[in-house]
Amino acid sequence: MAVKKSAKPMTYTDAGVDINAAELIVKRIGAMVKRTNTPRVLDEFGGFAGCFSLDYSEKLLKRNYKDPVLVACTDGVGTKLKVAFMMNRFDAVGIDLVAMCVNDLICCGAEPLFFLDYLAVGKLKPARIADIVGGISAGCRQSGCALLGGETAEMPDFYKADEFDMAGFAVGVAERRRIINGSRTEVGDVAIALGSDGLHSNGYSLARRVLLGGGGYKLDSRPALLEGASVGEEMLRPTRIYVRSVSKVLKNYRVKRVVKAMAHITGGGLTSNLPRVLPSGLTVRIKRGSWRIPPIFRLIAKKGPVDAIEMMRVFNMGVGFVIIVAPHFAHAIMTTLTKAGERCWVLGKVKKGGPALQWA
């Protein structure tokens, strides 16, 4: 009687999930994570959860909050990831992931405390994950927050081997009486624009269709309108992080409430985002032509073609952040922002009436 051979035992690797790669990734990113640690991070990297103190233990650095309010937000990078796949470069989107969260967080005057990331991949590739986390680490250092933890999920039956998706989560704190929500905005206040670094992380479905579809460009094309940059370089340029610059302004006015409202200009552009922080019955009258539209937007508008109204509804058009302030302090605040490395200008003034955005 023939003896039946036993089947080869199945492993998780056979199912497409590589535990060894996951362990290697943890070892590779450890130093990147620890570089973001602040004195308030309590645990060691690699635990099941991260611990963070609202106050420093050192007396010299003690930061007591009389009535602390935790502030949280989450975001992703969207279809900008498609460009990262095409260029096989992933550090930039790591910075984007942090920027999209912390730039939202500071709109209410909160101090970013820590950040967490979630990566869902088709196949774990340690070098690629290290690039992504390296970018996330860089973004956290730029914004002064700790990379407190994260999760990388290998999902071979859900994502293609070369693709992934990502989400970020930021938590901050604000003193309740110092929260900025736009309610104190009044007629005569000044809207100050902070320049963007390009597309940031919004409008990529349209940008890709225009530039890499109907526009006929390749990622290494260098249209004259881009002034020496390639299409790929412009499309993968990281989102600018405004945390340190805005924080310097807020620290200059710990008693006076001179900053009335702040808006991160993301999807929907000025058209959708600025009205979100304005009380009913008020509008910002924007000075038409008060800034130079960056080349990447002019290229998209020309090649689409995409009309001016649609461009303003989809893209930031060179305005990455807006601060609405009391008019007497506008010049001093712009000086602080300029010294902090920002390109800023008077975007317009707050007026009575509607709609929430008008052009002068």
Task: Say what the pLDDT of residue 4 is.
Answer: 58
Is residue 124 within 8 A of residue 25, CB to CB? The reply is: yes
Q: Is residue 60 part of a domain?
A: no
pTM: 0.90
Q: At what angle do helices 126-143 and 91-105 cross, to 10 degrees?
A: 30
Residue at token pair 């499309």: 235
Do 116 and 253 fall into the same domain?
A: no
Q: Which two tokens stand for residue 24?
A: 């290697």
pLDDT at 9 over 90: no
Is residue 53 within 8 A of residue 117, CB to CB? The reply is: no
CA dist list (Å): 159 to 85, 117, 120, 163, 208: 13, 18, 8, 6, 21
Q: Is residue 184 part of a domain?
A: no
Is residue 121 within 8 A of residue 153, CB to CB? The reply is: yes
- Give the integer Cα–Cα distance in Å for 244 and 291: 23
Do 349 and 288 fall into the same domain?
A: yes
Task: Give the pLDDT confidence of 81-107 residue by residue, as tens digits.
Answer: 999 999 999 999 999 999 999 999 999
CATH number at residue 70: 3.30.1330.10
Q: Is residue 139 part of a domain?
A: yes
Do 93 and 167 fall into the same domain?
A: yes
Task: Give the pLDDT confidence of 40-68 residue by residue, as tens digits.
Answer: 788 766 667 878 887 765 554 456 678 88
Q: Is residue 7 part of a domain?
A: no
Residue type, 68: P
Helices and strands (H, E) in the chain, number of each type:
11, 10
- 157, 178, 199 - which closes a domain: 178
Do 165 and 194 fall into the same domain?
A: no
Do 234 and 152 fall into the same domain?
A: no
- 178, 205, 231 - which closes a domain: 178
Query: Stretch 107-127: mean pLDDT, rounded?
Result: 94
Task: Say what the pLDDT of residue 60 is.
Answer: 46
Do 164 and 199 fall into the same domain?
A: no
- C-alpha angle 202/135/146, rounded to 5°? 105
Number of C-alpha atoms within 13 angstroms, CB side, residue 303?
23
Least confident residue range of 10-19, 119-128, 230-239: 10-19
Task: Say what the pLDDT of residue 1 is.
Answer: 56
Least confident residue range of 48-52, 216-220, 261-265, 343-347: 48-52
Is residue 134 within 8 A of residue 119, CB to CB? The reply is: no
Q: Is residue 303 part of a domain?
A: yes
pLDDT at 270 over 70: yes
DSSP notation for 245-288: HHHHHHHHTSSS--EEEEEE--TTHHHHHGGGGSPTTEEEEE-T
Do 206 and 117 fall into the same domain?
A: no
- Give the integer Cα–Cα distance in Å for 73 and 31: 26
Do 32 and 166 fall into the same domain?
A: yes
pLDDT band at 3 (very low <50, low <70, confident <90, very high): low
Do 146 and 284 fall into the same domain?
A: no
The 10 Å CB-count burial string (b at 16+, else e) for 287-326 is eeeebeebbbbbbbbebbebeeeebbbbbbbbbbbbbbbb
Q: Is residue 6 part of a domain?
A: no
Q: Find, among 204, 239, 205, 235, the residue nearest to 220 by Cα.
A: 235
Do 172 and 321 fall into the same domain?
A: no
Least confident residue range of 18-27, 173-182, 288-297: 18-27
Task: Say what the pLDDT of residue 239 is.
Answer: 98
Q: What domain range includes position 267?
A: 190-359
Q: Where are the beta strands (DSSP E) in the chain?
A: 68-76, 111-121, 146-154, 164-175, 190-195, 259-264, 282-286, 319-325, 344-352, 357-359
